[in-house]
Structure 1
């Protein structure tokens, strides 16, 4: 029996449980179709021995330090949120050093799904390659990583780099990749085993939710939304946003009312609060640190605003998900 193809999955904080399940299901179906263990999967947590999903479920995983690059055939990163800069640096450096130490010759396939391609691009692992990335950060990725050709398609397979955008795109990616390795008939049988009757091509664009589509019809509104998303810790004034995108404040408000059915200030606040909610569920930062990182000037201000919007306090939010928290001295004395 041939040695199984080794697949190592690196789970980033807040990764999609759907994406993980889809990946494991594809390889399980491939093994079933072949009648032997073609693919063997190991999973590693980017920040310890526990991997926290987007929905707050904690899964067991090996520490990243235990990853043996000399035994890996496919290395794939999974993320569904914008990756924290510290995590991106740690994981990226680990990849670069690990591949170098193993005398990497290009035989290892390196992949990413969701937002994870940003880590590969940040550390030069996608230089000169085509890549797909989650539609929410596509525009930012194109600007930040000009030596990588990011596309709006569902997925990209470029030599030994594979990548998928949001959601179910990873299924299409892996089925096409299996087709390249084992032929059309094999991939079709795997797809049938998963209940799929059609494979989408890489040239198909990622579907964008209706709530996000209005911005595509207004370049200035799109710029305003990007400015807000990039300035959560130090929120911009509405006048500053309007000036930066080249409209008056009244025109900016008109754009938000027309396309988003809200006001700029309301949208901006909701954006910061929802980001704070994800941080409370997915990180061990103190509640005060989360509040400050989302533009709130004090603990009580953050707690009151959070409770008014969600109906419970940040402390209650964290308790609901049984997340351990790092408490610095005197950091949370004023948090209610």
Structure 2
């Protein structure tokens, strides 16, 4: 992952902080290096922070971090560079920063990204031909925006001189693997123990909790049905197709959802698709109509109606953000003849797709 250094010198890392970066993602990478130095009694790692102008950068939790340098202060290519971002990375487009990143890449820097930093690398054109990953909440929007990239739902990906990780505590796992590779399993285990981190996860481990843990249900066929729904949010399946795939009748499928989740399959599926739509609206610049199609809807007006009744605002108002205008009749795309969402039966809800 990190670029090999000549002799026995420490690995040096420059963290480029993007406004609204994730503090836990940054800490998850820095703290293992600090503890590796402390436990080994050697300076194995050195690091500093940089920003576009060398000034203070605000984290997403409102903590200000005064950076050490500006990106323009480096008249050489740093050995290792890690982009750290968080909220709204998809709208970050700073050509000056992109230019420095591309220059460093040409001159041999190993460049990585944590949390949503893959968005920054992708906009800079530095992930073409590389495997990469990003936080699970951003996976759908990222793959929609960059369909030609090789995006994996991994904890972290290391591909030659590029590396990405999903954020949260996955940076800790990535660094533990790096420490184990460079300085031995014993040191990595000692660092993990200091964090009370019981297992060093591999890059291919799942980002998310299993469905059983997330939903607190264990019925195998219900889990399979929900898995089918999650895999087919763009090309929505009918209830009969879902029931057939898991080996149930439609009536048995209905009973399972009512018993364990107190809802119907159609309403559960609709909620999944609308949550995907919300992610695309807030994390991409895709037109609203394309968001509707990507979420399994074939009618923009039906999509707008369902979205309004679930979230209390239209897709266009969602795109404008929390400070956007409230609901307006003009946002509803002439849907006055539609029934209220709460009054729709399951067949009607399924037909909306």
TM-score range, shorter chain: 0.5 to 0.7
SS in 2 for 1:75: strand
- Structure 2-normalised TM-score? 0.63
Residue 4 (structure 1) shift: 2.5
1:25-44 to 2 correspondences below 5 Å: 25-44=31-50
Contact 1:69/1:99 (<8 A) preserved: no
Report the equivalent of 1:129.
Answer: 130
1:32-181 to 2 correspondences below 5 Å: 32-46=38-52, 48-68=54-74, 70=76, 72-83=78-89, 85-100=91-106, 104-105=107-108, 108-181=109-182
* Residue 17 (structure 1) aligned to one of 23, 35, 57: 23
Distance 2:58 2:122 in 1: 23
Report the equivalent of 2:318.
Answer: 272
Residue 251 (structure 1) shift: 7.0
Distance 2:304 2:91 in 1: 32
SS in 2 for 1:36: coil
Structure 2: 5+ residue stretches without partners = 1-6, 216-225, 237-269, 328-353
What's the C-alpha RMSD, in Å, of the aligned pairs? 3.9
Cα distance change, pair 296–235 in 1 and its aligned pair in 2 (3 A): farther
Report the equivalent of 2:297.
Answer: 246
Q: Work out whether 1:216 is the aligned partner of 2:230.
A: yes
Contact 2:93/2:123 (<8 A) preserved: no
- Structure 1-normalised TM-score? 0.66
Alignment coverage as a number of residue pairs: 269
Residue 110 (structure 1) shift: 1.1
Distance 2:75 2:153 in 1: 30
Contact 2:114/2:167 (<8 A) preserved: yes
Distance 2:231 2:104 in 1: 44
**CA deviation digits over 1:36-74, x for unaligned, max 9?**
111111011246501101111211113433542636222
Report the equivalent of 1:263.
Answer: 309
Structure 1: 5+ residue stretches without partners = 257-261, 278-290, 298-336
Distance 1:250 1:95 in 2: 42
Distance 2:131 2:72 in 1: 30
1:184-199 to 2 correspondences below 5 Å: 184-199=185-200
Contact 1:135/1:166 (<8 A) preserved: no
Cα distance change, pair 60–198 in 1 and its aligned pair in 2 (3 A): same
